Amino acid sequence: MAGRNTLPARGGRNGREGPDFAASLASLASVRRGFVLIARHKRWIDRQHLAVCRIPAPTFREQQRAQYLCKKFAELGHRPHLDEAGNVVVPVTYAKNRPYVAVSAHMDTILAPARPEDVRVRADGTMEGPGVTDNGAGLSALLALAKVLDAPLLPDAGRNVLLIANVAEEGEGDLQGMRYLAEHSRYAGQVDRYLVVDGASVGHIAAEALGSRRFELTIEGYGGHSWNDFGRANPVHALSRAVALMTDAELPDNPRATLTVGVIQGGAGINAIPTSARAKIDVRSRDGAGIQKVVGIIEDSVRLAVREENRRSSDRLNAYRLREVGNRPAVAPLESNPVADCFQAVDRYLNISSRMDYASTDANIPLAKGLPAVTVGGGGRGGDAHMPSEWYDPEGRELGLRRLLLALAGLIAPDGNCVPKGTLLQ
């Protein structure tokens, strides 16, 4: 998950911006029942959160966590299955031949616990360890929703629900789990609204996709002894010069673009000229053209650095290549996004002060297809994402889960009739 940034608020659409919409949904007997269950099972949700996060799930190795989630969803009365990408898919079907609202949370983490004790609970109840916020908060929200959805949320729903714990969101996963769901799965043409739960904060509604492209730069030479072969072209020297050139370059600032060298590798020993050197580079912007400008800076920097190393050396570097390893599309806010509108109405009803933001998440994929989508947090508070000291405080989680349930009820309500007749509490 990427950091979110503030955007100007957008007005609601489809008649769902008024206060009556969320208030009417909150009066539904089924929604009120869900609120009660969320409050009653707070400790159960906390225990599931901890259990999930103690199962290692680095990107591309989420299988053990997926199996655990399948088991828990089945215990809650659902029929989960693994799709070909490894996503855990839980259909909650109210009526045949109706579209789905997908509610997803990614399973993978940048860091993984080496042992269960690496994810612990502090004396004040705060959880600490890899992935407890990103995305333990999202996965535990999925389980909480599954517990509530053991009974119909709306008796005459206009849409069905698809709960997904997906793979490969982080890093070089390149959103592969969501790409499969939206492009190749059996549900690809049936989901018309996406709700991505990523992290904890309820202060954001990310409805714009921050784009990113990731590259692996490799420079190769012939190597040699640091004394006997001194003067040969050195891939590490060339790579270092390339990194200096690209990071000194002036980047676009309107809209802003960033360039980060996150990994550098190379060499086998202090007294040897390396045969290869490698770097991984992340480029981000809200604008695709801005990203392309930065890619041009990278290409020029590598070309100049290799040329200079060859000029200084008694031989020449063997080869260099810049390989794209990830591409998340940048997408401006959609002209119409009923998912964002629904959350704005719900937040006004719940007195949540939220902002329209942008982020780089699984929602990039449906947004790029023109499908309504947002990314929101599951509730509570968290910090230090992608660090060993990552933490999550469940205080306030209940509000986040009420928010998700209320919005989900609005998203599956029949178009033009948000509140089914005969379901209001007397």
Are 108 and 170 in contact, with CB atoms under 8 Å apart?
yes
CB 336 within 8 A of CB 213: no
Write the CA distances from 10 to 111, 334, 356, integer angstroms. 36, 11, 7
- Residues 6 or more apart whose CB falls under 8 angstroms from that of 68 comprise 51, 52, 55
Which amino acid, 66? A
- What is the full DSSP assignment across 110-166? SS--SSGGGSEE-TTS-EESTTTTTTHHHHHHHHHHHHHTTS-S-TT-SSEEEEEEE
Residues 404 and 37: beta-carbon distance below 8 Å: no
pLDDT tens for the chain, residues 1 to 426: 544 433 333 334 444 445 578 898 899 999 999 999 999 999 999 999 999 999 999 999 999 999 999 999 999 999 999 999 999 999 998 888 899 999 999 999 999 999 999 999 999 999 999 999 999 999 999 999 999 998 888 877 889 999 999 999 998 999 999 999 999 999 999 999 999 999 999 999 999 999 999 999 999 999 999 999 999 999 999 999 999 999 999 999 999 999 999 999 999 999 999 999 999 999 999 999 999 999 999 999 999 999 999 999 999 999 999 999 999 999 999 999 999 999 999 999 999 999 999 999 999 999 999 999 999 999 999 999 999 999 999 999 999 999 999 999 999 988 644 444 433 332
**196 beta partners:** 104, 375
Fold of 5-209+330-412: Aminopeptidase (3.40.630)
Q: For the chain, which residues make up each domain, given as ranges?
A: 5-209+330-412, 211-328
Fold of the 211-328 domain: Alpha-Beta Plaits (3.30.70)
Q: For residue 326, which phi and psi values (nearest 5 degrees)?
A: -170, 145
pTM to 2 decimal places? 0.88
